[in-house]
Each structure stands twice: as structure tokens, then as C-alpha cells.
A and B are shown apart, each in its own frame.
Chain A
């Protein structure tokens, strides 16, 4: 008899949060990287004010994607390095519960980083990124990245050069998410009429749902040997 899905998912999320509160291994690395990334882009675009304003949403999403890559790699490494993933796989829980547990943990950590960098970018780039619709776009987009990132991090967990393999595998797959998220964000930041960004936001939500469904279908195969 299987352990209920919800019990298993909550146990995994609770375990990850408890371990992170104690060690701060993931969030500190992700947040420091994100802040550095924002500063580097800010300095690089310092001389061209127009280009700087146009690049804000690109900077936001590139920063989030790279910071999340660091987080996904580390989060799954904590499971793989000590063989803990095997200990979870031994338990009578469905593979999708393990996937969703890890997905929700990764999502929470990336979302926290996103909620830190949005006000920071507002100050550094002198542009209001704390708009409701932009926050919603971030919430949806980060979930899409977390879905595909968690699955691919599980897939590359036992490869020899895991740190390099995850970005190589994830960036091409995540391109539709990145494109729609950047388009929606740019239009929201430019105060464009709703009809110009709502479609992109809907498209982002649709791509996120499709990726989530694919991850759900594939996680069983990925978590088998």
C-alpha cells in the first residue's frame, strides 16, 4: 500500500525547508549569485541608459534562470551524493510524489530569490518592478522553470559532469518559457495596454502547464535507474 501522495510531498518539502533553515546552503548561494548578476549587468549597461531600461526584463529572467540552475543542482546533489534519493525510492511512495516534493522545494527557494531581487532591481535600475502583474508573471514563470529544472536535475544527477550537464540540458528546453516570460515582463514594465502582454502571460501559463504535465509523465522513467 502506497503512502498518500500529499503526506509524501509535504514530508519532502518539510525536510528540505528544515535542512535549508539550518544550513542556508541553497538560498545564500542563489541569492548572492543573483545579486552579483544584477550588479554586473547594471555596470555593463551603465553607459547606455536606453539599453539598460530595455534590458531590465531580460536581466531579471537571465538572473533567475542562472540562480535557479545553481539551486536545482545543489538541491538534487544533496539527495544524490549521500544516496538519499535511493532511501526515498525505497519507501512505498509514488515517483511523482518524490518529484513534486522536490519541485515544490525548488520552487519555494527560487521564488524567495525572485522576491528578493525584484525590489533590489527596482532600486538599482530605477524602474518599478513591484507591479502586481509582473509579480504574477514571475510566480508563473518560476514555476515553469522549477518543473523542467527539477526533472532535468534528477536526470543529470548521476552523470559525470552534472554541474555542466544541467544548463546544457535545461537552457534549450526552457527557451519557450524564457521567451514568453521576457515578452510579458517587458510589456508590463513599459506600461503597454493589457492586450499586448496578457497574451504572452497566458502563453507562459500554457507552456508552464504543458511542461508540468510532461514532467509528471516522465518523472517515473527518470527516477527509475
Chain B
């Protein structure tokens, strides 16, 4: 990590909802082009951390710096660098795939030519070029998730945040999504992904952060770990087992 420039720096980050602390003094850095798997139980603070990194939520205390810009003060500079894929598709069912992407392209300030070219490219990338004019509501869950990735990639962000992207996908759709994640890695994008499926983690990321009760309980290399040993580590830190 030390060899590459850090693109994300998080220092003593805390987030409290009312009296409930969700994140407690979390610190870590992410190098440019690195992929990090964020693991932890439900309510452990994973989604909150991603929302904070995406600028959708403000920290109670601590510092987030993305690409040198400080959040939330300079959030507008950061927004263009971030793409978010949530477990919800974040799409309009009454619009076609192309219309959805065109709308979000306009919100990101892309010109008409950039949108036409970009939409064609991302739809091709996620394998939906032939369904470009179908309504998003007619898509299967897997196709919606692929379109969601296309939406997140349209403005060519450096950082991709994926919040439980495999939720509700069948095996084939999950494999397609895995290929898309690997292709984003080849493009040297920085990825932070949350999942409950520990079996997928070592294949997709070298490094994992395990959040337990709002704190980082583990930050290290998982590339050499088997899914079973990662499961044991997870159980010892979080007191439960994730889906393998």
C-alpha cells in the first residue's frame, strides 16, 4: 500500500445516530487502484462507512480525504470521482436503460456526445447493449444490477463503492457481476466492496477490513487465505458466520 499514492484517507472517523454510535474512531487508507473488501455483521457500520465516503452522510467526528479533497467541505470536487452501486438498483423503472443512463449523464454534466459515446460503451461493457431501449422495470434483478454498475461507471469515476452488490443475485448473475468487478480492477479503479459472502472475498480483493461494533477489528491481507480460514477469522472477531 505504501508504494502507491493513497486516494482515500480516513482518520478517527466516528458516526453517531442519535445516541447510537455506529462507527467509532475508524482509520484506514486506500491506495490508488487497490480493492478492499469491507466485511462485518449487519449493523456493523459498513453501509454507513460507504455513505460517508460517498458524501451522502456527514461524519460526527474525524476526517475523510479523497483524492486530496477534504470531506464534506469539498464534497462537490469528490462527487465526480465516485460511483456507487448499492443493493438497491437506484434506477427509474419507467425509463429505459438508455434513458436512465442519459439522465444520470446529464446530472454529471456530460455533454451530448460524451453521453452517447459513454452510454454505448458502458452498456456494451455490462452486456446490455441489446436491451438499451427496454424499460428498467422489465429487467431481472441481475440485469438491474448490471445496469446499476453501468450507471456508476458512466462518468468514469476513479473510485467505485459497491454496497452488497451480490445480494439477491442467482449464481449466473453473481458470476457476471464478479467479471465486471474484475474488469473494473483491470482498469485500475479503486474499489471498496461490502459483502456477506466470504467465499467471494479472497478472489476479488487482496485486502479486507472487518468492522465489528463500529471499529476496525482486522485490516490485512486475505489473498492467501482460504474462504474457511477467513470464515474462522470473521467468526472469532464478529461472533457469527457470514455466507460462504
Q: Assess A1 versus B56: contact at CB under 8 Å? Given A18-B95, A82-B93, A87-B104.
A: no
At the interface, yes or no: A224 with Cβ under 8 Å from chain B? Answer: yes
Count residues of chain B with CB under 8 A from any CB of chain A: 29
Q: Contact at A11–B54, with CB atoms within 8 Å?
A: no
Q: Contact at A3–B109, with CB atoms within 8 Å?
A: yes
Q: Give the contact stretch, choosing among B84-92, B182-190, B198-206, B210-218.
A: B84-92
Q: Give the contact stretch, choosing among B24-32, B74-82, B116-124, B168-176.
A: B74-82
**Count of A-B contacts judged by CB separation below 8 Å:** 81
Cα A84 to Cα B91 in complex, Å, equals 6
Residue among B57, B90, B103 facing the most chain A CB atoms (10 A cut-off)? B103
Nearest-neighbor residue (CB-CB) of B110 within chain A: A3
Q: Contact at B109–A7, with CB atoms within 8 Å?
A: yes
Nearest-neighbor residue (CB-CB) of A79 within chain B: B92
Q: Assess A92 versus B79: contact at CB under 8 Å? Given A1-B109, A18-B99, A224-B58.
A: yes
Q: Assess A3 versus B95: contact at CB under 8 Å? Given A90-B56, A224-B58.
A: no
Cα A41 to Cα B217 in complex, Å, equals 65
From A4, A11, A86, give the contact of B103 (CB < 8 A).
Answer: A11
Nearest-neighbor residue (CB-CB) of A25 within chain B: B94
Q: Which residues of B contact A88 (CB under 8 A)?
A: 107
Cα A84 to Cα B56 in complex, Å, equals 12
Q: Contact at B82–A90, with CB atoms within 8 Å?
A: yes
Cα A28 to Cα B162 in complex, Å, equals 37
Cα A23 to Cα B137 in complex, Å, equals 12
Residue among A7, A22, A82, A88 facing the most chain B CB atoms (10 A cut-off)? A82
At the interface, yes or no: A31 with Cβ under 8 Å from chain B? Answer: no
At the interface, yes or no: B106 with Cβ under 8 Å from chain A? Answer: yes
Q: Assess A82 versus B56: contact at CB under 8 Å? Given A1-B80, A88-B107, A92-B108.
A: no
Q: List 23 A-B contacts (CB under 8 A).
A: A2-B76, A3-B106, A3-B108, A4-B109, A7-B109, A11-B106, A11-B107, A23-B94, A78-B92, A82-B88, A82-B92, A83-B86, A83-B90, A86-B86, A87-B104, A90-B54, A90-B79, A90-B84, A91-B79, A91-B107, A91-B108, A92-B109, A225-B56
A residues in contact (CB < 8 Å) with B: 1-4, 7-8, 10-11, 14-15, 18-19, 22-23, 25, 78, 82-84, 86-93, 224-225
